[in-house]
Structure 1
Amino acid sequence: MKTIKTENFAPVYLFYGVEMFIGELLIDNVIDKMISPGFEVFNYNLLKDREITAKEIVQTCNTMPLGSAKRIVVVKEEVGIFERHAEADIQELSAYLKDPSPSTVLIFTLVKGDKRRKIYQTIASKSVLVELDKLNERDLTSWIAARIKKENKTIQRVALKKLIHHLRYLENKEMTITAVDNEVQQLVNYVGDEGEITVEDVETIIPMGIEENIFKMLDFSLQGRIAEAIAISRELMSKGESPFGMLGLIVRQIRLLLMTKLLLKEGATLANIAKTTGVPQFVAEKNRRACADRPLSLFLKNYFFVQELDIKMKTGGIEAEKGIEWALLNMKRDR
């Protein structure tokens, strides 16, 4: 990625990873830097038809640019080039990659593929690899802030944290920056002429996810606010949430709180707690606050309690829908 940011473009790239939205932004950057305005139609080739052959890719790359420093050729995953076994395709590409055109930047894109295949190894060995992995918490925060700034708006610090929490990008493997961008755009559209995005705006446009609802429900139960806890559980089930799935999340949350409490007793830092429990740092902070003033015995007792309930629900010892409310009624409380 460094060669792209410094404009010292290599002749061949392989963009690999789930965050192809970022890859598209990088491609736009290459086009802006290397193709003269108005000459994109002559010098930018986006190849995405499955019928395109390796020979056609090479011919396109060997075509001289017109009125610009470079020709940009992007071979999308839809072409299926990484799925091909034909030796002719491999040899055609291999010959070009050994001596690529100096006037062309060739970019292959691939979200996920079999790295053992000869065609992949042929391309990867002669390309600059740009890994488009999911963003970490710091980069995600910076990306969202920059995206909002681009719309000439700001976002309150606490609202940004809540937005990241509600989006669940860091916890959900299927959530991509494309989806994040769509949610941010909805938020921007909602505030209209207002210059600042608030916590209330985030809560209105992007409702709490299931895990945050489970956290809130469990916290109400531990405080003895049973009616409020049960109200959340009934609302979740009315929206189609499975009681088995809900109990699984309850078990997970109590396990996280138990681990957090044990780590706090050992003097672990917030960063260490986040790493050990496998959650983003802002979630670790929320868990730290939730268990800081509660005894270790509370989480130990409730952990064994929900494990037993899990067995009862799965074996028919208690009706699944009633099992969740029974758990909320019978868990050990704050003393």
Structure 2
Amino acid sequence: MRQIANDVKTGNFNRIYLLYGDEIYLKNSWKNRIIDKLRRPGDTLNYRVFSGQSIDVAELISLADTMPFMAERRLIMVEGSGLFKKSAPDELVDFIKNVPDETCLCFVEDEVDKRSKLYKAVKSADGCIEELSQLEESEIKLWAAKKFTKFNKKIRGTTVQKIIDRVGTDLQSLDSELDKLISYVGDREIVDDEDVEAICTVHLNNTVFDLVNATISGEQKKAMELYYEMIANKEPPLKILFLIAREFKALLETKELMKTTRDRKFIAGKVGRPPFVIGRYEAIVSKFSSGYLSGVINDCLEMEQGVKTGKISDRLSVELIIVKYSGAERRTEK
């Protein structure tokens, strides 16, 4: 169990929290749980939020060093300050060592430098440091399963996988779709594949990945069906073309990074995809050269230019890419 989970459960909160990482949903979830536990409804005297990279550090320290008014704790949230990426003021670093027991100081950041004085000060003061990064697929499945259990629903692992395949791995989107699904099944205990197909929205990025994979696997019919499905859903062809190019760019970046490292978490951070998606990318890029992947990207850019200059229709531009790279132009590395 995470330390923060134990703190929320027991109500024994630390003086300092540092929540950071690229999973916005988890950061907001834990931040809100702390607020719900420590802030009394309507209490504006003992709760303050400092936001952005231009916060008044002197005011922050003064407030954090002030006894709470008719309450056990004073809660101060510091969001997106960037103080853990740059040289934080010495007075703040020194204050971290002496945060009063009556104060709960919570930092919520995107990135931190673990070599920074402020990070080391929080660690030295036994603050609770939680890295909240994108989850692995197995962790997402467990998270989803727990939500269904909370609402007394049962679901097979294959059905959870179907949800992820349709919706994607963004926890905010998943949470919303799971709420819809739970509401849809009503009093029924079992959630099945038919429910997922009936109510869960297919995320565009997932469809684009399937289209790209079908194309380079030579499954032209499947790729075209996915494309026409997106068109039927009112997705603009130029947007689809852009997303196809972006997907191939991510594949190319993965291939280049794999030349120097096999650390999926590192590659995921560079490419901007969850680690388990990088695992899927690895299986794909091993079959194709960097030149091939670059060629697809360049062709997409040329098609986009052709559409903008009126030389080709937007709908046809994507069709030509699919036909070209699902047919004779497909080539694997030797």
Could you say which TM-score interval applies, normalised by the shorter chain?
A: 0.5 to 0.7
The CA deviation at 1:325 is 1.1
Give the equivalent residue in structure 2 for 1:222: 218
Residue 160 of structure 2 aligns to which amino acid in structure 1? L
Give the equivalent residue in structure 2 for 1:162: 162
Task: Give secondary structure in 1 for the equivalent of 2:65.
Answer: helix
Does the 8 A contact of 1:274 with 1:280 survive in 2?
Answer: yes
Task: Give secondary structure in 1 for the equivalent of 2:198.
Answer: helix
Give the equivalent residue in structure 1 for 2:66: 59
1-structure distance, mates of 2:265, 2:83: 35
Judge which range, 198-207 or 246-255, deviates more: 246-255
1-structure distance, mates of 2:137, 2:282: 17
The CA deviation at 1:147 is 1.5
* Unaligned 5+ runs, structure 1: 66-70, 170-174, 264-271
Give the equivalent residue in structure 1 for 2:306: 316
The CA deviation at 1:121 is 7.4
Task: Give secondary structure in 2 for the equivalent of 1:239.
Answer: coil
Give the equivalent residue in structure 2 for 1:172: none
Give the equivalent residue in structure 2 for 1:68: none
* Change beyond 3 A, Cα 1:5–1:245: same
The CA deviation at 1:156 is 2.1
Match of 1:24 among 7, 10, 31: 31
1-structure distance, mates of 2:80, 2:36: 23
The CA deviation at 1:21 is 2.7
Equivalent residues in 2 for 1:1-335, closer than 5 Å = 1-2=2-3, 5=6, 9-17=13-21, 18=24, 19-24=26-31, 27=34, 45-48=46-49, 53-61=60-68, 71-77=72-78, 91=91, 97-102=96-101, 104=102, 106-112=104-110, 126=125, 127-169=127-169, 175=170, 177-218=171-212, 219=214, 222-225=218-221, 229-237=223-231, 238-241=234-237, 242-249=239-246, 251=248, 281=276, 284=279, 306=296, 309-310=299-300, 312-313=302-303, 316=306, 319=312, 321=314, 322-330=316-324, 331-332=326-327
Give aligned-pair identity as a percent: 17
1-structure distance, mates of 2:119, 2:266: 35
* Change beyond 3 A, Cα 1:320–1:110: farther
* Change beyond 3 A, Cα 1:12–1:196: same
Residue 76 of structure 1 aligns to which amino acid in structure 2? M
* Change beyond 3 A, Cα 1:9–1:78: closer
Residue 151 of structure 1 aligns to which amino acid in structure 2? F
Asked which structure has the greater CA Rg, the reply is 1
The CA deviation at 1:162 is 1.9
The CA deviation at 1:211 is 3.6
The CA deviation at 1:277 is 8.3
Q: Deviations over 1:50-109 (max 9, x none)?
A: 797532332145x685xxxxx3432123697969x9x9x974x6675444434x351313
2-structure distance, mates of 1:53, 1:140: 36
TM-score, structure 1 length as denominator?
A: 0.62
2-structure distance, mates of 1:120, 1:13: 11
Does the 8 A contact of 2:93 with 2:117 survive in 1?
Answer: no
* Change beyond 3 A, Cα 1:78–1:300: closer
Does the 8 A contact of 2:220 with 2:322 survive in 1?
Answer: no
The CA deviation at 1:119 is 7.4
2-structure distance, mates of 1:273, 1:53: 39
The CA deviation at 1:314 is 5.1
Task: Give secondary structure in 2 for the equivalent of 1:48.
Answer: strand
The CA deviation at 1:150 is 0.8
Residue 167 of structure 1 aligns to which amino acid in structure 2? V
1-structure distance, mates of 2:177, 2:223: 28
TM-score, structure 2 length as denominator?
A: 0.63
Does the 8 A contact of 1:15 with 1:131 survive in 2?
Answer: yes
* Unaligned 5+ runs, structure 2: 269-273
Does the 8 A contact of 1:45 with 1:72 survive in 2?
Answer: yes
Does the 8 A contact of 1:217 with 1:229 survive in 2?
Answer: yes
Does the 8 A contact of 1:4 with 1:30 survive in 2?
Answer: no
Judge which range, 123-132 or 113-122, deviates more: 113-122
2-structure distance, mates of 1:245, 1:3: 40
Residue 101 of structure 1 aligns to which amino acid in structure 2? P
* Change beyond 3 A, Cα 1:273–1:230: farther
- CA RMSD, Structure 1 to Structure 2 (Å): 5.1
Give the equivalent residue in structure 2 for 1:266: none
Does the 8 A contact of 1:166 with 1:209 survive in 2?
Answer: yes
1-structure distance, mates of 2:224, 2:161: 27
The CA deviation at 1:161 is 1.0
The CA deviation at 1:198 is 1.9
Residue 105 of structure 2 aligns to which amino acid in structure 1? I
* Change beyond 3 A, Cα 1:197–1:80: same
Residue 108 of structure 1 aligns to which amino acid in structure 2? C
